[in-house]
Structure 1
Amino acid sequence: MSKRKAVAAVTAGAAAVTLGMSFTSAAGAAPGSADAVPANLKLIKTKNSLLGKHVWYQQTFKGLPVINGYYAKHTDKSGKVLQVSDGRDAVPDSLDVTAKVPSATATKSANTVVGARAARNRIAQPNKSVVQTPAATSGAAQLAVIGGPNARLVWNVTSRSSEGVSRSLVDAKNGAVVESKVISDNVDGKGSVFDPNPVVSQKNEDLTDQNDKNQNALFVAQKNVILRNLDGSGKLNGTYVNIAEAKGGVAQNKNNTFVYQRANDKFEQVMAYYQVNQTQEYIHSLGFTEVNNESQDFSINTYEGDNSFYDPSTDVITMGEGGVDDAEDAEVIWHEYGHAIQDDVVPGFGESLEAGSIGEGFGDYWAVQQSMPVSKNYDIPCVMDWDATSYTDGPKHCLRRTDTGKTTDDIVGEVHDDGEIWSNALWDIQKALGRTKANKVILQGTFFYAPDTSFADAARVTVQAARLLYGKGVAAQVTEAFQARKIL
């Protein structure tokens, strides 16, 4: 859908049409009318960052959400507008919002499409899991509107399958599936980790999963830690993490003592709690108090395949147990949490191919930079070293890397592969600025993203964040990192 038209009210025949646009204004040079918020918007989120306030709205039509329709205003601490992003779509006033197709019928059609696609993808990659492809199951169906030249009323159906979570748009008048896409952010082949994982802590690339068996080589890799910010309920629930469900039931101990060996499924629950709590405490240390500042729900070992994913429709991170149990590898946990971070800061993030690639690249970067304090400098750019032992031959085991040297010349149209372009840029920024300064710039830049941002637009607002936080010299270093990847 195009969102490149100026906002205006016009008459087309007898029907009034509201046109939408998408633009990013230069810092301090927002349109003169930026203080006025257009009509038919629903406030969905207000976030505060180091530079100021970020207010997000959902476009509506006759009370229904408009798919991908958004409006955001970013102001500094004095109230001065830094940027306005207008992603509203045109919807004719004459559009009828009465559904003829029942929600149950739309859900069945959506699940059929999602299940068939998941089965095809499983056949294309038969080595990724030995588990039979399960049938797609429904989450929720809600009425919504698609804007643009082919405006229509649709059922917005979420389904869960072996691919993760999919969003399908089903025409509410004729029942046709208009669009179906995976909206969860997936990682294949997640693994075990302690701090961050056995391959790194033991510097041993020969370790293997052995079907979740306890092993002396893995026992010595375990590290006793303090679990901070628990709520005292006797469960792994706290300020930043909530183990909502898990295979075999959630861990409980009235003394808040959770000590298990890795063959016990509860070990992965402790891993998720500890590593996410560490991440959120680190984010707070950078000065950010509203970057997924919530108790993030986790579902542990509840998916049999070698895959984990963040579901933005339910705000839940699901960790799979195929191969190495994904939640044994902290870098898998941190990657998925990276998706939750971006979805929290930018509602609906990932609506374009390049935005999805940025999400995957950021998740990989977030994982490896979180490893830095505990990895003793062991091949830090290697992502998910332990998880990857289940599906890579070696001698090094990496799902992906953040130092591939890829540029935009290497774009192939797959979010994980293209994400290595973005992660390499972020890795280079970290090398140039140092971990703390780089992460402040990268997180601050995220606040200015549009949901359907491009590599170039995301790079430009990251440079803008660097300039506003640290001045022209640092902004020049960030620019050079993006130029090296041919993003700018």
Structure 2
Amino acid sequence: MRRRRKALVAVVVGVAGLSLGVSFTSAAGAAPEVVSAKADGLKLIKTKTSLLGKHYWYEQTFKGLPVVNGYYAKHVTEGGAVQIADGRAAVPANLDVSAKVAPTVATQAANTAVTARANRANRAGVAGPHKDAVKQPGATSGAAQLAVIGGPNARLVWNVTSRSAEGVSRSLVDAKTGSVVESKVISDNVDGRGSVFDPNPVVSEQNEKLTDKNDKNTDELFLAQKNVILRNLDGSGTLSGTYVNVKEAKGGLAQSKSNTFVYQRANDKFEQVMVYYHVNQTQEYIHKLGFTEVNNESQDFSVNTYEGDNSFYDPSTDLITMGEGGVDDAEDAEVIWHEYGHAIQDDVVPGFGESEEAGAIGEGFGDYWAVTMSVPVSKGFELPCVMDWDATSYTSTEPHCLRRTDTGKTMDDKTGEVHDDGEIWSNALWDIHQALGRAKANKVILEATFFYDPDTSFADAARDTVQAARLLYGKAAAQTVTDAFKARKIL
């Protein structure tokens, strides 16, 4: 990770092989501007406002093409203090950006590599706990776009996104040779399916014996349904509104001229309602905390459109896909909240999750967010247990949990797998939640996210969180947060 911090009023920055001119106005909080007339440089892609200041995010470009993982950020507090995060990579000035390999050829190579890896992972049992190895659907492709890899092995590549049993993958295919340079999962996945109850039948009925029964209506599950008000609909007659847009769904979009969307759980449209309701609830809560720019948009969802037992957020298209294997994922609000947690972080920090530890932070935050959103409706039932209903389809022990936020794991338990290591991070956040209370903890945690780097480490993200606690609530709160991270051996 590359991280530089210093206060500045005007500066010209450059990286070997790049010709960049960047100037910043002296007024605190004023937007920086790229002033170079050349095609090489920085492109302002997002400006965010948090409780403590403004955040300006740039994408590194070379001859008009994006540089993979290249970023530059300026954080300006209300008091005028400036923090710079520079994650640019050197690109030779003479790098040829004309492609010899067609995008269709690159796409085929990427999909072949992704399918093979997904099948290997499934056979090894890493696709999800206690799941039998079964044949998974082959990878399908999204867009292929030209991009540049910087650094000592700089080259032109096709950036191909694919959807598979692992979620969404990014493959970088050499645009000169057609070889796959890198292929990795970029979505933040969660195995399992859930309920659109509040938050799910296991919790609301406090009954670990409930089972899916192949998506059938049952008396027990009917009693778990809750009538709710769907706020902020746009009046189109579909489940689209200020914060949620059910963009596509198995069986077609739910429609009602009277905006009445009442279905039993065996109807695929039931999951659409729960996606809308629970995400809308999340944004209303975030606004209540004082944040107005934390994924403050109509988040796109694709519901029950993936046959595998998986749900995932695709940062390349800003789309959350809810799968239907096992318990339908969107039947468990904690699955929805987990995936929405990834969308939150990607919105606040463009390209978040580029290192293993950043990926683990994403998984840990997603689990934590599912748990904290469950607090008002769970009546304290098995709160640290994540996705209780979804997990009934692939766990035999009680309570049924995909993961937990109170495992007691520390950095000594780190394995290098993002979901496993995410339990270290989620445990720290859960301890902060219990010590500071729900509202204070979530203000601190969300505020700190604005200062993360895309490839942040556990330690750096923890220090950002401690700093946010100090600035928002003082030294005592900062010490409480510090103690929580020390307990997990992060600090």
| 1:255-334 to 2 correspondences below 5 Å | 255-334=258-337
The whole-number CA distance in structure 1 between the counterparts of 2:429 and 2:442 is 9
Alpha-carbon spacing, 1:486–1:240, altered in 2? closer, same or farther (3 Å): same
Give, in angstroms, the shift of residue 17 of structure 1. Answer: 2.8
The whole-number CA distance in structure 1 between the counterparts of 2:92 and 2:455 is 23
The whole-number CA distance in structure 1 between the counterparts of 2:75 and 2:268 is 44
The whole-number CA distance in structure 2 between the counterparts of 1:443 and 1:463 is 12
**Is residue 2:445 matched to residue 1:442?**
yes
Instruction: Give the paired residue count.
Output: 469
- How far does the alpha carbon of each residue in 1:236-289 deviate from its partner, in whole angstroms, 9 at most, with x for none? 000000111111001001000001111111111000000000000000000000
Partner of 1:73: 74
| RMSD of equivalent CA atoms | 2.0
Alpha-carbon spacing, 1:5–1:483, altered in 2? closer, same or farther (3 Å): closer
Poorly superposed stretches of 4+, deviation over 4 Å: 2-10, 34-39
- How far does the alpha carbon of each residue in 1:179-232 deviate from its partner, in whole angstroms, 9 at most, with x for none? 000111100123224001111111100000000011111111111000000011
The whole-number CA distance in structure 2 between the counterparts of 1:174 and 1:3 is 30
Give, in angstroms, the shift of residue 122 of structure 1. Answer: 2.0
Partner of 1:62: 63
Q: TM-score scaled to structure 2, two decimals?
A: 0.92
Partner of 1:400: 403
Which of 140, 143, 161 is the matching residue for 2:143?
Answer: 140
Give, in angstroms, the shift of residue 37 of structure 1. Answer: 6.1
Give, in angstroms, the shift of residue 107 of structure 1. Answer: 1.1
Structure 2 residue identity aligned to 1:397: H
Secondary structure in 2 aligned to 1:66? Answer: strand
Partner of 1:366: 369
Secondary structure in 2 aligned to 1:169? Answer: strand
Alpha-carbon spacing, 1:35–1:45, altered in 2? closer, same or farther (3 Å): closer
The whole-number CA distance in structure 1 between the counterparts of 2:263 and 2:461 is 42
Which of 150, 154, 163 is the matching residue for 1:160?
Answer: 163
Structure 2 residue identity aligned to 1:42: K
Partner of 1:119: 119
The whole-number CA distance in structure 1 between the counterparts of 2:72 and 2:250 is 40
Does the 8 Å contact 1:168/1:178 carry over to 2?
A: yes
| 1:59-208 to 2 correspondences below 5 Å | 59-78=60-79, 80-125=80-125, 128=131, 132-208=135-211
The whole-number CA distance in structure 2 between the counterparts of 1:9 and 1:257 is 57
Give, in angstroms, the shift of residue 133 of structure 1. Answer: 1.7
The whole-number CA distance in structure 2 between the counterparts of 1:405 and 1:19 is 49
Partner of 2:250: 247
Structure 2 residue identity aligned to 1:288: F
The whole-number CA distance in structure 2 between the counterparts of 1:221 and 1:9 is 59
The whole-number CA distance in structure 1 between the counterparts of 2:424 and 2:33 is 38
Q: TM-score scaled to structure 1, two decimals?
A: 0.93
Alpha-carbon spacing, 1:137–1:277, altered in 2? closer, same or farther (3 Å): same
Secondary structure in 2 aligned to 1:191? Answer: coil
Partner of 2:482: 479
Secondary structure in 1 aligned to 2:376? Answer: coil
Partner of 1:25: none
Partner of 1:52: 53
Alpha-carbon spacing, 1:278–1:9, altered in 2? closer, same or farther (3 Å): closer
Partner of 1:238: 241
Alpha-carbon spacing, 1:189–1:333, altered in 2? closer, same or farther (3 Å): same
Does the 8 Å contact 1:19/1:89 carry over to 2?
A: no
Structure 1 residue identity aligned to 2:142: G
Give, in angstroms, the shift of residue 395 of structure 1. Answer: 2.1
Alpha-carbon spacing, 1:213–1:36, altered in 2? closer, same or farther (3 Å): closer
Structure 1 residue identity aligned to 2:190: V
Partner of 2:345: 342
Gaps of 5+ in 1: 11-15, 21-29
Partner of 2:232: 229
Partner of 1:17: 17
Alpha-carbon spacing, 1:205–1:137, altered in 2? closer, same or farther (3 Å): same
The whole-number CA distance in structure 2 between the counterparts of 1:67 and 1:112 is 22
